[in-house]
Chains A and B, each alone.
Chain A
Amino acid sequence: QKEVEQNSGPLSVPEGAIASLNCTYSDRGSQSFFWYRQYSGKSPELIMSIYSNGDKEDGRFTAQLNKASQYVSLLIRDSQPSDSATYLCAVNRSASKIIFGSGTRLSIRP
């Protein structure tokens, strides 16, 4: 079992709809959770951090964390073509290195 699992996609979502990206992790001791966006040919960019159960909203992005289910998700409202990218989920325990998932490719179709 991979430490951080994501569906590789591609996930195709119509413009204006909600894109839902999911991630599961294996280490129950994980404490910090991150979502990165990576455009093709570019390096990853941090878009959200979440540390406690529940929802965290930042503009069109909402991160959701459920530690009991070992599940973290990212919702993108009003999806735009510019949201088309690979989204990386990252997880870590305190004072240990972050483990990245392999990423989900998101495609927003006009």
Chain B
Amino acid sequence: GAVVSQHPSWVICKSGTSVKIECRSLDFQATTMFWYRQFPKQSLMLMATSNEGSKATYEQGVEKDKFLINHASLTLSTLTVTSAHPEDSSFYICSASQGLGNEQFFGPGTRLTVL
């Protein structure tokens, strides 16, 4: 299957700081990338869908000014959690696909802890 990487795999930051998470598709061009959040023992929650070169589409209830998404190339998307607070602590997972309806390949996830 296709390979998607994420960096960093874990991060601890102080409340009020911003954190950037990178998602890369290593062996295919990802026209569409997705960002999910997952709290312990809960389901995946889709945060936003991004297409290369255009603005991300955010799910209802997700603050676009807090979770900044950039999909500048066909292999890279970034999620920046701005002014992070302890309630933002979660497992953030990206996925990539070659089209909106195609199968998604997930990155290994980034565990964010905000102190």
- A interface vs B, CB < 8 Å? 31-32, 34, 36, 41-46, 49, 88, 90, 92-98, 100, 102-103
A32–B106 contact, CB under 8 A?
Answer: no
9 A-B residue contacts at CB 8 Å?
Answer: A32-B101, A44-B95, A46-B104, A46-B106, A92-B101, A93-B101, A98-B104, A100-B44, A103-B43
CA distance A36 to B36 in the complex (A): 15
Residues of chain A contacted by B109 (CB below 8 angstroms): 42-43
Closest residue of chain B to A31, judged by CB? Answer: B101
Chain B binding surface, main DSSP class: loop
Chain A nearest CB from B101 CB (Å) reads 5
Q: Mark B14-57, 1 if CB is under 8 A from A, else 0.
A: 00000000000000000000100000000110100100000000
Chain A nearest CB from B35 CB (Å) reads 12
Q: Is B93 an interface residue (CB 8 A)?
A: yes
Number of B residues, CB within 8 Å of A: 20
Q: Is B8 an interface residue (CB 8 A)?
A: no
Closest residue of chain A to B34, judged by CB? Answer: A97
CA distance A88 to B44 in the complex (A): 10
Contact of B101 among A46, A96, A102 (CB under 8 A): A96
Contact of B43 among A94, A98, A100 (CB under 8 A): A100
CA distance A96 to B106 in the complex (A): 18
Residues of chain B contacted by A32 (CB below 8 angstroms): 101-103
Residues of chain A contacted by B49 (CB below 8 angstroms): 97
CA distance A94 to B95 in the complex (A): 18
Residues of chain A contacted by B102 (CB below 8 angstroms): 32
Q: Mark B72-86, 1 if CB is under 8 A from A, else 0.
A: 000000000000000
Q: Is B1 an interface residue (CB 8 A)?
A: yes
Known: A34-B104, A44-B93, A45-B106. 13 other contacts (CB 8 A): A31-B101, A42-B108, A43-B93, A43-B106, A43-B108, A43-B109, A44-B106, A49-B103, A92-B101, A95-B99, A96-B100, A97-B34, A100-B46
